[in-house]
Each structure stands twice: as C-alpha cells, then as structure tokens.
C-alpha cells in the first residue's frame, strides 16, 4: 500500500511540476532574453586536473614507502584528498600536496600516504585509525560477493530484492577488526524481505543479523523514499575546481573560485565550496561551505549519523546547448535549469558535479550528493543585487529508517572577509534601535520574534553584509547544539582541519558522538576588528505526517523544492 501511494503521489507531483514550469515559462521568456544579452558566465579551470591526480595516484601506489607496507597484501585506494594551504595574505592557492588513503584488507588497517603533485618529495606513509568510506569499486565488489551467496543469488538475479547503499556504510563487529561493507536489500514485494547485511571482502563472507540489520541501522517491512538508481558516484578527490565570473554589461558582478564537492575541504568534505567570493570587485567571503552535516532519529531508532559531502550523485543537468568548461562543472544553456531528486522525484540523472545556470536574476550553483541512503541537494544562489542564498535540501532513497521522524542538521561555515580580512560584527534585532556589537566569541540561537540577525562590517569602512535566518531553518534541539557560532579565524601552518577549525574531525559513523562539537572553539577570543568566521546551523524535521515546511513535501516520497538556508544581503555596498 505504501509503495502504491508513493507512486501515485509521484505522478501527481510530476504533473504539478509540469504545469508550474509551463506557467512560469511564458513569464520568464522575455526576461531571460534580456538576461542572456547582458549576463555572461565564464568558467576557467583551476588546480590539478584529473590527469595530474591519476598520475599522483599511480606514483604513490608504486612508491617504495607504500610498497614496503602493502606489497603482497590485498588493498585498495579508497580516498584521495587535497592538502590545502590557507594563506589569508593572498588568494586561494592551488593545492600542491595530497593524501592517498589505502585500506589493507589482509591486515585490516588504514594507511595514509602523503606526497606532492610535483613529485619532488619522498612519499611518507602512516597508519590511521578510522574506517575510510567505501567507493563505488569497493561497494560493487561487495555486491558481487552477495550475488554469489546461495541465500541471495536467486533473489538478486530475479530482482525480488534490489541492493542499495545503506547507513552506516561499514561495520566492525565488537571484539573484531575486520572491515565489513554494508549492503541494503530492498524487497520488491512480499516475496522478498528488507534487510541490511554486511560483507567481508577479506574472507568473502556475508553476515546476517537477527534483527535484520547491523547496529545503528534498521530493516523493517515498511520502507520510505524514492527508488534507488544505483548510478555511478564520484569518488573522493575527483578533480574539479574553477574560477567563475558572472559579468553584466562587461563588468564583473560576481567572481569566485568554485570547488566541486568531490574536491572540497574538510574531514568529511563540504559540498560545493566557494572561495574568494567578490561582489562588484569587493571581497564578501574568503570561504563558504558546509563542513558538518548530521542526522538524528527520534528515540535513536537509527543513527545518529555524521554524513559526508564529496560523493556526487547524478541529477538532471540538460546537456543540449550546455558547455562543460571544467571537470565536473556544467554551464546550462540559457533558459535551462537543473533538476535534482528533490525537484523531479527521480534518483536518475545525466550529470555529476556542479551545474550553473541563471534563473530570476540569480546565478545558481547546484549539486546532488549521496551519503548512504540519503540524497542531499546543495545550492548557492548569487543574485544580481548582491544577495547570496545558500540552500540545503534533504531526501532519501527507499529504506526503513527514514519512515521514522528524524532531524537533519546542516552547518554552514562562512569565513567573512568584508572588503578586508578584519571586520566588526553586530547583532541586529527588530525593536532595538542600535546595533549590539559582538566583541568576543560566542554561540547563541535564533530569535524568530525579533528576527535576530548578524551584521558583518568592514573594519575600516561602511560596507557590510547581513546574515538573516529564514523562518524555515527550524528550531534547534540538544543534538543540534546552536544556530550561530561567532569565532575568530584560526590558521595553524600545516595544521589539521580540526586545528584550523575547519571542522570538528568527527566522522561517520561512530555511534552517539555524531553531533557537532565546536563549542570548545568559543574561548573568549576577541572578534572586534578581527578575522571573523560565522557558523550557521539549519535544522529540518523530516517526518511522515507533518508538512512543517513545504506544502508539497511528503514523508513518503521525500521530495520538495529547496528547504533550508539563510539569506546574506549586502548593506551599503
Ligand atoms: Cu530525511
């Protein structure tokens, strides 16, 4: 019954969408012509190409240091990360160094090799104590093992059950060290059974659980969400960074460095990352991204989970008339828009990376991300009038957990550099005549009644931007911690992401400690005329029977237009 109503709702939604587009089409026709005449989007590739990345991978794998550890073992390269050099005295620098993360199945250990793209350094190797996330290659090998298992081969062949990526992605059973890759099984009808199993790549074993799933996961007869497309995803480190310029009448409106999710920074990456963002030639943000994303279920029926934001999922970015000027970056033809799973209710698509297009006097950057069974959309909207609207949307493919009420939390990190590095920050509230200066680091929550906002101003001038929460950004709870953190920028040369306060270093899926843990960074440092970083959290309750935010949202199909995010508006620019 559930599945039937889902399909029915999907059809209704599809129809509504078509009608809306048709109605909107007539109105926007003239305007988009005008916009087309005056707005120009240019994209220039930046940073290491995929060719350079591939050469580095090969060199590191063949290096003496790696071979002395891994020769004769069964291993796989699971992650490739760019090491960043964040020097505020100059524009963002091209990454020159990298880390390659190997998993050694023979000895069940994670090894991190570090080197430089130029190949002038000796590769160094060290042991790390975390489970890297599976890539497509590893997950597909686990599925092949399952396809050979006598309990599952028939069901998978005749499609009584369909394999999907579940949460958590890996399991290590208590008292063991063996890495197990988890596979979700979604039953087509009553002849099959929903289940989450674990597969050992080392031993070719399949592990089933009495309760039908490993710890923190769940498999019940009911499931919710759209059907999984099982299309390829981007592995961590896939190249793709570019300089974007949006011009009007020949002069630049917006300039920024755009980093696709697969190449973004942070322990768990951070979606579409923008750096050195300038509006009309003056700096607004040194960096904007979402380094922390997590989800908590009512009564902890599943999770909690810390999510990751590098694994790009396919969405619909029309190729006709589009240009692909840099790896993973597509500029759509005039009048075209991209559609994610949240817009069209389908997990299938034709593109992975960042789609860029113009809509209603905004330049839109959008991507779709996958983390286990979750599907996320991340969007940046840069308006011609200087307003920035970062947005985050939440969806899932068919599984049992998301039928339960759960609360998503997305945390943006905005490194504001309004004109200059050093800024002043004020709290703004309706009903108060004066701006309240914020002088030291703090965390606090929204006040919807007074529309509590933050104003960040150039230390030596009048220019400012105001960060204004939206009514749809949810109410914070204990797990969500806070809505705002005002921090002083940190830079430890050669330091880790945690030392540089890029993220809290927590990683999927370590039990209960998956919440945001940055309160300790609030330690009484001055933020008066300093380099200021603002974190902003938005919270979204995903539930079956409440439509708290969007009238077209359904708990069953888990779809809607974009959902949460603040507005960032220029003042006296
Ligand atoms: Cu959800």
Q: Per-residue pLDDT tens, the chain, 573 aa: give them.
A: 333 333 333 333 333 333 333 333 333 333 333 444 578 999 999 999 999 999 999 999 999 999 999 999 999 999 999 998 778 888 888 999 999 999 999 999 999 999 999 999 999 999 999 999 999 999 999 999 999 999 999 999 999 999 999 999 999 999 999 999 999 999 988 888 999 999 999 999 999 999 999 999 999 998 888 889 999 999 999 999 999 999 999 899 999 999 999 999 999 999 999 999 999 999 999 999 999 999 999 999 999 999 999 999 999 999 999 999 999 999 999 999 998 888 888 899 999 999 999 988 999 999 999 999 999 999 999 999 999 999 999 888 889 998 889 999 999 999 999 999 999 999 999 988 889 999 999 999 999 899 999 999 999 999 999 999 998 899 999 999 999 999 999 998 888 999 999 999 999 987 668 999 999 999 999 999 999 999 999 999 887 543 333 444 444 334 454 579 999 999 999
**Which of 100, 128, 156 represents a domain boundary (last residue)?**
128
Please check whether residue 25 lies inside any domain of the structure: no
Q: Are residues 120 and 268 in the same domain?
A: no
Q: What is the pLDDT of residue 80?
A: 97
Q: Are residues 96 and 140 in the same domain?
A: no
- What's the rounded Cα separation, in Å, for the pair 570 and 562? 22
Q: What is the pLDDT of residue 455?
A: 98
**Which of 207, 229, 263 represents a domain boundary (last residue)?**
207
Q: How many degrees, rounded to 5, is the angle at CA 82 between CA 81 and CA 85?
A: 145
Instruction: Give backbone dihedrals phi and psi of 65, rounded to 5 degrees, phi first.
Output: -60, -45
HSE (side-chain half, CA atoms, 13 Å) at 539: 19
Q: What is the pLDDT of residue 547?
A: 31
User: What is the distance in A from the centroid of ligand 1 to the CA of 307?
Assistant: 12
Using the structure block, give the residue that is written with the tokens 């050093």: 422
**Please, are residues 439 and 464 in contact by the beta-carbon 8 Å criterion?**
no
User: What is the distance in A from the centroid of ligand 1 to the CA of 407?
Assistant: 7
Q: Are residues 353 and 437 in the same domain?
A: yes
**Please, are residues 491 and 452 in contact by the beta-carbon 8 Å criterion?**
no
Closest residue by Cα to residue 506 from 481, 489, 484, 487: 481
- What's the rounded Cα separation, in Å, for the pair 424 and 417? 10
R_g of the chain computed on alpha carbons: 24
User: What is the distance in A from the centroid of ligand 1 to the CA of 480?
Assistant: 15
User: What is the distance in A from the centroid of ligand 1 to the CA of 110?
Assistant: 31
Q: Are residues 116 and 150 in the same domain?
A: no
- What's the rounded Cα separation, in Å, for the pair 464 and 570? 6
User: What is the distance in A from the centroid of ligand 1 to the CA of 128?
Assistant: 31
Q: Which residues, other chains included, contact 481 with Cβ-Cβ below 8 Å and sequence gap of 6+?
A: 443, 515, 516, 518, 519, 537
User: What is the distance in A from the centroid of ligand 1 to the CA of 404?
Assistant: 9
Q: Are residues 151 and 94 in the same domain?
A: no
Count CB-CB contacts under 10 A for residue 153.
12
User: What is the distance in A from the centroid of ligand 1 to the CA of 454?
Assistant: 29
Please check whether residue 11 lies inside any domain of the structure: no
Q: Are residues 99 and 146 in the same domain?
A: no
Q: Are residues 372 and 520 in the same domain?
A: yes
User: What is the distance in A from the centroid of ligand 1 to the CA of 394?
Assistant: 6
Please check whether residue 223 lies inside any domain of the structure: no
Using the structure block, give the residue that is written with the tokens 């599984």: 399
Identify the three-state secondary structure at position 567. Answer: strand
User: What is the distance in A from the centroid of ligand 1 to the CA of 567?
Assistant: 23
CATH of the domain at 330: 2.70.98.20
- Please provide the size of the chain in residues: 573
Q: What is the pLDDT of residue 135?
A: 97
Q: Are residues 59 and 203 in the same domain?
A: no
- What's the rounded Cα separation, in Å, for the pair 406 and 412? 20
Q: Are residues 346 and 203 in the same domain?
A: no
Please check whether residue 17 lies inside any domain of the structure: no
User: What is the distance in A from the centroid of ligand 1 to the CA of 371?
Assistant: 12
153 is in which domain, residue-wise?
Answer: 136-207
Q: What is the pLDDT of residue 224?
A: 85
Q: What is the pLDDT of residue 225?
A: 84
Query: DSSP assignment, residue 521?
Result: G
User: What is the distance in A from the centroid of ligand 1 to the CA of 140?
Assistant: 25
User: What is the distance in A from the centroid of ligand 1 to the CA of 522?
Assistant: 30
Closest residue by Cα to residue 266 from 537, 487, 79: 79
- What's the rounded Cα separation, in Å, for the pair 303 and 299? 10
Q: What is the pLDDT of residue 512?
A: 67
Q: Are residues 116 and 188 in the same domain?
A: no
Please check whether residue 10 lies inside any domain of the structure: no
Please check whether residue 4 lies inside any domain of the structure: no
- Extract the runs of DSSP E, i.e. beta strands, from 372-510: 374-383, 388-396, 406-416, 423-428, 436-437, 442-444, 453-458, 464-468, 484-488
Overall number of domains in the chain: 3
Count CB-CB contacts under 10 A for residue 385.
12
Alpha-helix runs per DSSP H in 295-347: 341-344
Q: What is the pLDDT of residue 35?
A: 46
- What's the rounded Cα separation, in Å, for the pair 566 and 383? 14
Q: Are residues 77 and 174 in the same domain?
A: no
- What's the rounded Cα separation, in Å, for the pair 47 and 95? 7
Q: Are residues 458 and 514 in the same domain?
A: yes
**Which of 187, 207, 227 represents a domain boundary (last residue)?**
207
Please check whether residue 447 lies inside any domain of the structure: yes
Q: What is the pLDDT of residue 511?
A: 65
Pull the structure tokens for residue 94. 């091209």
Q: How many degrees, rounded to 5, is the angle at CA 561 between CA 476 and CA 270?
A: 60
Instruction: Give backbone dihedrals phi and psi of 229, rounded to 5 degrees, phi first.
Output: -85, -20
User: What is the distance in A from the centroid of ligand 1 to the CA of 511?
Assistant: 18
Q: What is the pLDDT of residue 192?
A: 86
The whole model's pTM is what? 0.91
């Amino acid at each position: 019954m559930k599945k039937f109503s889902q399909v029915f709702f999907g059809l209704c939604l599809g129809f509504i969408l078509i009608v809306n587009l048709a109605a909107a089409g007539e109105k926007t026709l003239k305007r988009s012509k005008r916009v087309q005449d005056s707005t120009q989007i240019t994209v220039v590739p930046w940073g290491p190409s995929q060719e350079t990345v591939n050469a580095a991978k090969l060199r590191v794998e063949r290096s003496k240091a790696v071979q002395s550890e891994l020769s004769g073992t069964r291993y796989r390269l699971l992650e490739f990360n760019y090491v960043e050099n964040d020097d505020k005295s100059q524009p963002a620098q091209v990454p020159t160094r990298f880390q390659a993360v190997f998993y050694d199945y023979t000895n069940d250990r994670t090894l991190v090799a570090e080197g430089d793209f130029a190949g002038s350094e000796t590769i160094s190797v060290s042991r790390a104590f975390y489970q890297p996330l599976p890539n497509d290659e590893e997950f597909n090998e686990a599925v092949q093992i399952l396809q050979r298992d006598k309990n599952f081969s028939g069901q998978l062949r005749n499609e009584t059950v369909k394999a999907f990526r579940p949460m958590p992605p890996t399991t290590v059973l208590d008292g063991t060290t063996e890495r197990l890759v988890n596979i979700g099984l979604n039953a087509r009808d009553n002849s099959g059974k929903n289940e989450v199993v674990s597969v050992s790549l080392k031993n070719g074993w399949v592990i089933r659980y009495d309760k039908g799933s490993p710890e923190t996961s769940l498999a019940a007869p009911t499931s919710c969400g759209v059907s999984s497309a099982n299309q390829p995803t981007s592995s961590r480190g896939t190249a793709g960074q570019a300089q974007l310029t949006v011009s009007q009448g020949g002069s630049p409106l917006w300039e920024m460095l755009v980093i696709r999710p697969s190449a973004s920074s942070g322990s768990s990456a951070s979606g579409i990352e923008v750096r050195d963002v300038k509006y009309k030639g003056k700096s607004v943000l040194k960096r904007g991204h979402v380094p922390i994303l997590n989800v908590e279920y009512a009564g902890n029926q599943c999770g909690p989970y810390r999510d990751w934001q590098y694994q790009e999922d396919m969405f619909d970015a029309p190729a006709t008339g589009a240009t692909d000027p840099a790896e993973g970056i597509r500029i759509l033809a005039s009048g075209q828009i991209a559609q994610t799973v949240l817009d069209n209710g389908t997990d299938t698509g034709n593109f992975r990376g960042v789609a860029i297009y113009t809509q209603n006097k905004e330049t839109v950057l959008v991507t779709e991300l996958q983390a286990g069974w979750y599907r996320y959309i991340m969007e940046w909207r840069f308006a011609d009038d200087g307003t920035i609207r970062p947005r985050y949307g939440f969806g899932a493919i068919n599984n049992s957990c998301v039928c339960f009420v759960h609360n998503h939390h997305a945390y943006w990190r905005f490194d504001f550099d309004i004109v200059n590095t050093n800024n002043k920050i004020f709290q703004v509230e309706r009903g108060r005549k004066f701006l309240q200066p914020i002088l030291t680091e703090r965390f606090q929550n929204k006040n919807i009644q007074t529309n509590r906002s933050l104003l960040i101003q150039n230390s030596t001038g009048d220019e400012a931007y105001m960060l204004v929460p939206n009514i749809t950004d949810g109410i914070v709870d204990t797990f969500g911690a806070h809505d705002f953190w005002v921090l002083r920028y940190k830079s430890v040369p050669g330091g880790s992401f945690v030392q540089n306060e890029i993220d809290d270093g927590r990683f999927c899926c370590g039990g209960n400690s998956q919440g945001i843990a940055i309160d300790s960074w609030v330690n009484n440092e001055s933020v008066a005329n300093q380099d200021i970083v603002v974190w902003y959290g938005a919270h979204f309750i995903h539930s079956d029977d409440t439509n708290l935010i969007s009238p077209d949202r359904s708990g069953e199909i888990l779809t809607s237009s974009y959902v949460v995010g603040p507005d960032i508006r220029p003042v006296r620019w």
